[in-house]
């Protein structure tokens, strides 16, 4: 095992990527453990709110750690210890930020709602991409009989097309398939050609009402067959969403996305 690690990671200069992935995963698991303990009222942790009524979400220290790691990374001047520390900071900071991706996307506290599941899915996608970068071959390695120009063009076309398929899957709100597609290019290609989720950005932008209805029926069939299994896996890691949540003093279903209508005082 160590021989493989030394040959494939250290000798190929991918130790910083590995350290970033390690910090990313460990930080995410610890963060979810702490937030689930706070949610259940167990352990020494509490949901802290400042005297001014501001709740500091962990994405805030995540941004600060990420900034420190980024500046440290560009100022190490090749020092291995400095690079390693910067990689750990970048991995930990990125994990804290992406763990609240849904909150940043909607500018609403949806951490424990149905909408908050997207944070776990984005974290899984980011971890998959990091893992793929670590274990993949060097795209700019020139084989015998090939020129550097041909190698670069081939790499840009192949990896560019693969990345495009993953981006399309994300735009079609197929986050879980995008995670698997990062390792299985044909799966990403096949899924990117299939119908999008009916409430995805892709469907809202490009689909007619008739095609969106087709997408809705297909999504229902897919969720009936596979949805419970995949949902269970993500809930096991990230925690089960609340059935109801409080927004603006009004209790809403967990899948509500619109702000409640204001009531007029008499």
What are phi and psi for residue 250, nearest 5 degrees? -120, 130
What is the overall mean pLDDT for the chain? 80
Q: Which residue has the higher pLDDT, 257 or 144?
A: 144
Write down the H helix ranges in 75-195: 80-98, 101-106, 117-135, 148-171, 175-181, 185-193
Distance of CA 182 to the CA centre of its chain: 12
Confidence band of 67 (pLDDT split at 50, 70, 90): very high
Closest by CA to 182, choosing from 191, 173, 193, is 191
Element housing 247 (H / E): strand 244-247
User: Quick check: 118 pLDDT over 50?
Assistant: yes
DSSP 108: S
Confidence band of 145 (pLDDT split at 50, 70, 90): low
Q: Which residue has the higher pLDDT, 242 or 104?
A: 104
User: Quick check: 50 pLDDT over 80?
Assistant: no
The interaxial angle of helices 80-98 and 117-135, nearest 10 deg, is 150
pLDDT at 11: 83
Confidence band of 60 (pLDDT split at 50, 70, 90): very high
pLDDT in tens, 163-179: 899 899 989 988 878 87
Element housing 237 (H / E): helix 228-238
- Rounded to two decimals, what is the model's pTM? 0.68
pLDDT in tens, 154-164: 778 888 898 89
pLDDT at 253: 47
Quote the CA–CA distance of 198 and 215 in Å, as a whole number. 5
Q: 190 is written with which tokens?
A: 């096949």
Q: Taking CA 180 as the corner, what is the angle to CA 14 and CA 228, rounded to the nearest 5 degrees?
A: 140
Mean pLDDT calculated for residue range 239-246: 65
Quote the CA–CA distance of 191 and 202 in Å, as a whole number. 13
Which region among 50-59, 88-97, 142-151 has the lowest average model confidence (pLDDT)?
142-151
């Amino acid at each position: 095992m160590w021989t493989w690690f030394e040959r494939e990671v250290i000798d190929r200069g991918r130790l910083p990527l590995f350290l970033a992935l390690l910090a990313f995963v460990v930080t995410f698991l610890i963060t979810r453990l702490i937030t689930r303990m706070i949610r259940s009222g167990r352990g020494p942790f509490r949901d802290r709110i400042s005297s001014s009524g501001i709740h500091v979400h962990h994405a805030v220290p995540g941004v600060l750690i990420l900034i420190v790691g980024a500046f440290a990374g560009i100022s190490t001047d090749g020092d291995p210890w400095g690079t390693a520390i910067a990689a750990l900071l970048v991995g930990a900071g990125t994990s804290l930020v992406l763990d609240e991706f849904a909150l940043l996307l909607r500018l609403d506290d949806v951490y424990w709602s149905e909408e908050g599941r997207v944070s776990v899915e984005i974290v899984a996608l980011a971890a998959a991409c990091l893992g793929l970068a670590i274990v993949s071959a060097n795209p700019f390695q020139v084989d015998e009989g090939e020129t550097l120009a041909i190698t670069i063009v081939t790499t840009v076309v192949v990896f560019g097309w693969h990345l495009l398929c993953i981006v399309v899957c994300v735009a079609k709100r197929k986050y879980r398939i995008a995670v698997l597609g990062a390792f299985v290019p044909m799966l990403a290609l096949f899924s990117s050609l299939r119908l999008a989720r009916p409430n995805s950005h892709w469907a809202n932008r490009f689909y007619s009402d008739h095609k969106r209805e087709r997408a809705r029926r297909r999504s229902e069939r897919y969720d009936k067959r596979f949805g419970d299994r995949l949902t269970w896996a993500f809930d096991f890691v990230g925690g089960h969403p609340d059935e109801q949540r409080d927004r603006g003093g009004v209790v809403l279903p967990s899948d509500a996305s619109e702000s409640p209508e204001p009531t007029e005082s008499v």
